Structure 1
Amino acid sequence: MPSASARERLNRAILAKPQVIVGAAGLCVVGAAALFIALTGDPRAAMPSAGARLEADKPTAELASGEDVFGYAGMDLYQTLDNEGLDAEGAGGFGDALITLPEGASVSATGSFTAPVRQPDPLPAAPMAGLHQPGPEGPLPRIAADGRVPAQAYARPFRANGKPTVSLVVGGLGLNAVTTRAAIERLPADVTLSFVPYAEGLQRWVDMARSYGHEVLIELPMEPTGYPNNDPGPYTLLASSSAEDVSVKLDWLLSRAVGFYGVSNYLGDRFATSDTATSALMGQLRQRGLAFVDDGSLQGRPGAFARASADRIVDEEQSPAAILRQLHALEIQAKTDGAAFGSGFSYPVTIEVASRWVAGLEQRGLQLAPASAMTRRRSA
């Protein structure tokens, strides 16, 4: 769940169709170079040269899996790891780097390294009996007659072992098939996944996430600063919304899928300033037995059946070194306070760095916990 500024940049990049812009720019550059050489001759003609034949990869007949296409070999398309934030011996470049973690632990990243696909560790299939009721747009979560609530029934079971705990939510899932699959398959089951309600085939993604053991949140688009120029979609919860408006939009958002234990925010710094709108939202979530987990934008707003706010967003700066610094800060906070909670977005670099960071947590004296464990701890 990135900050408003990071989300706005992402939305602009998507809407601008960068592949078209890059292709056009490339044609312009090639055309200009050809014209220059035609008029003046090749300026490198008298210089020694060497060449190599490059061949494009053959297209595949179907969508490749996260394991096939989401490795470090392609990380230079997104980020390059430099020495910033690493020890003096850390090598620059993601192709061959030694990332030093706290207290002497380290993880080697070679050019052929990819975070492994994990074995499924399924949670019970959804829907569960008694936890839903018909709504105007589809099934809506509810508290069962026997007192069971979605916030508990759909959460991942967790047993504390006495070590400080760290939790991580990765959001923005469902819009990009490759990154969504990578997050589901590669991140440990104790990492909570948050899905965009507008995603096509949302129920299939939720079912797949639960089949790998991930508990699931559904993101609620909320009014950000700059709205409507920065527009999270047609069902955005507005700061000016009445309780009835919130209820109508929430019915649609909550009926997109079944099997989620709570909801999270998508943007919403302006929505958070409205007492009327936030109180209406929290009241609805409390009546339906749902948890509310936010990225820190709505910290201090009580309500819902259970509550938790992230202590920090780990990927506002989208470089491996910067993300590692934020994750390390979570470790320090957990060892000081007993628990710490981070939020991130489904950037490729976030998924890759987080998948390796969690591997050594136990050896560093920490326990990874699902976000629902934090909501129980901080329920309000």
Structure 2
Amino acid sequence: MARRSTPAKKKKTAPRSKTKAGKKTTKKPGGFRRLMLGAAMVAGAVSAMIAAGSMLELDRAAHKAVSDLADKSTAPDVSAPSGRQKQPQMDFSKGYDAPNRPGYMVERPSDEMNNGQTEAIPQPRVNPLPNVTPSPTPLPVPDKGVVPGTQLAWQKFATHVPDTGNAPVIAIIIDDAGIDKPRTERAAELPAPITLSYLPYATHLPEQVATARKRGHEIMLHMPMEPTSRAVDPGPHALLTSYDKVAILNEMSWMLDRFSGYVGVNNHMGSKFTADPERMAVVMQVMKARGLMFLDSRTSAKSVGYQEAQKFDVPAIERDVFLDDADDAAKISLMLDRVESVARKRGYAVAIGHPRDLTLEALNKWIPKMQAAGFVFVPATDIIRRNGVKVTG
């Protein structure tokens, strides 16, 4: 029986892919790699854009910094501390009337000594000027200096008292005169010759001084100087340790020309300034040129005022007792007892007080009592004459 022949089976092959149009497509090798390469190119482009933007911002910032620097180099420095002290350029022909300053405080005494100075609220001072430097020209002699052959100011304006013989004498100096006019008037009514020391920034000084002199009192100028404590302010035109020679001379000229008829100067505060030999030497050159005396208020145990005065042949004395370190009647009484003790032992005493109610009341009672006991009240210049001070013009 014959077998039916069957066609041979064909080997199956994978169907060819066709497009929608029925066309064949060929598969390109490396597709994944090309995809990664494209992504990297996009990322690089983005990074380049970011870098370009950053460079642009940096360029703008640099231009702005340069512009700001140029502006600062030409514009005034309005941010500089207002407390910076500069050499004053003042019109000395004009007076200065500072308002009354009622809010005075008393600086507490230190352990070393009684300082008892009336000191007020501070004005901070920063960025000091250079130290004292030699002036390019010789030290100028003030306009109102001593003419050779004439009487010195401390002698010309002195209040003379009769010879007291061997009786112990007491000189009372009332500081801070002129600011509180009613109390200054009361001080001028004390029943003995005293010395009134006027602050240069008080008002109506010529009139106040003339009235006090007519009543037989001696006059001094109470010159503001820098204290050690920054918590107190000596007032306008005070002499500062940050000042150089020219600044000191300018400020002194302003103060010394405020009024006339005074015999000398004593320091208002000044615990820091009076301890500076270089600057006190400048002060004494002016004292010498004007024929004035100097009373060292001794607001600091480190003061060199008296020693510097002696170097320049300036007549000088020192304070012995502060009457009213504390505005307390009992303590003022103790200080008055101390004045009496010093005068008995040494033959004279120099006391400083202030125009305050308790001080004036105590002095009004104490002075007649001491006079009855044989003590004599004298002006400050009498202590200088009594000590045999010899000075030349």
TM-score by length of 1: 0.62
The equivalent residue for 1:41 is none
User: Structure 1 residue 366: deviation in Å?
Assistant: 1.4
Specify which of 220, 224, 232 is matched with residue 221 of structure 1. Answer: 224
1:212 is aligned with what amino acid? R
Question: Does structure 1 residue 295 correspond to structure 2 residue 297?
Answer: yes
Question: Does structure 1 residue 251 correspond to structure 2 residue 253?
Answer: yes
Question: Does structure 1 residue 350 correspond to structure 2 residue 359?
Answer: yes
The equivalent residue for 1:166 is 170
What does residue range 19-30 of structure 1 map to in structure 2 within 5 Å?
none
Question: Does structure 1 residue 180 correspond to structure 2 residue 184?
Answer: yes
What does residue range 250-289 of structure 1 map to in structure 2 within 5 Å?
250-289=252-291
What does residue range 183-222 of structure 1 map to in structure 2 within 5 Å?
183-184=187-188, 186-222=189-225
Relative distance call for 1:317 and 1:306 in structure 2 (3 A) is same
Specify the SS of the correspondent of 2:316: strand
Q: Is the 8 A contact 2:119 2:269 kept in 1?
A: no
Task: Please list the CA deviations of residues 70-121 of structure 1 after superposition, one character each: whole Å capped at 9, or x if unmatched.
Answer: xxxxxxxxxxxxxxxxxxxxxxxxxxxxxxxxxxxxxxxxxxxxxxxxxxxx
Relative distance call for 1:280 and 1:374 in structure 2 (3 A) is same
Specify which of 344, 347, 354 is matched with residue 335 of structure 1. Answer: 344
The equivalent residue for 1:50 is none
List runs of 5+ in structure 2 lacking aligned partners. 1-103, 110-115, 123-139
Specify the SS of the correspondent of 1:180: helix
The equivalent residue for 2:239 is 237
Specify which of 302, 305, 315 is matched with residue 306 of structure 1. Answer: 315
1-side partners of 2:275 and 2:296: how far apart? Answer: 14
The equivalent residue for 1:113 is none
What does residue range 38-117 of structure 1 map to in structure 2 within 5 Å?
none
The equivalent residue for 2:38 is none
1:205 is aligned with what amino acid? Q
The equivalent residue for 1:142 is 145
Q: Is the 8 A contact 1:237 1:271 kept in 2?
A: yes
Relative distance call for 1:353 and 1:362 in structure 2 (3 A) is same
2:256 is aligned with what amino acid? L
> Could you list the runs of 4 or more consecutive aligned residues of structure 1 that deviate by over 6 angstroms after TM superposition?
6-9
Specify which of 128, 150, 155 is matched with residue 152 of structure 1. Answer: 155
Question: Does structure 1 residue 372 correspond to structure 2 residue 358?
Answer: no
Q: Is the 8 A contact 1:190 1:368 kept in 2?
A: yes
1-side partners of 2:265 and 2:105: how far apart? Answer: 15
Q: Is the 8 A contact 1:2 1:313 kept in 2?
A: no
1:197 is aligned with what amino acid? P
Q: What percent identity do the matched residue pairs reach?
A: 27
The equivalent residue for 2:44 is none
List runs of 5+ in structure 1 lacking aligned partners. 14-135
1:154 is aligned with what amino acid? F
The equivalent residue for 1:11 is 120
Specify the SS of the correspondent of 1:194: strand
Q: Is the 8 A contact 1:2 1:345 kept in 2?
A: no
User: Structure 1 residue 209: deviation in Å?
Assistant: 0.5
Aligned residues: CA RMSD: 2.6
1-side partners of 2:117 and 2:150: how far apart? Answer: 41
1:235 is aligned with what amino acid? H
Specify the SS of the correspondent of 2:243: coil
Relative distance call for 1:189 and 1:359 in structure 2 (3 A) is closer
Relative distance call for 1:187 and 1:235 in structure 2 (3 A) is same
Task: Please list the CA deviations of residues 291-337 of structure 1 after superposition, one character each: whole Å capped at 9, or x if unmatched.
Answer: 11132234643316310111111110212221121111111111111
2-side partners of 1:260 and 1:9: how far apart? Answer: 21
Specify which of 357, 361, 372 is matched with residue 370 of structure 2. Answer: 361
1:301 is aligned with what amino acid? Q
User: Structure 1 residue 10: deviation in Å?
Assistant: 5.5
What does residue range 115-134 of structure 1 map to in structure 2 within 5 Å?
none
User: Structure 1 residue 166: deviation in Å?
Assistant: 1.1
Q: Is the 8 A contact 2:292 2:315 kept in 1?
A: yes
1-side partners of 2:293 and 2:358: how far apart? Answer: 28
1:341 is aligned with what amino acid? V
Paired positions, count: 254
User: Structure 1 residue 146: deviation in Å?
Assistant: 2.9
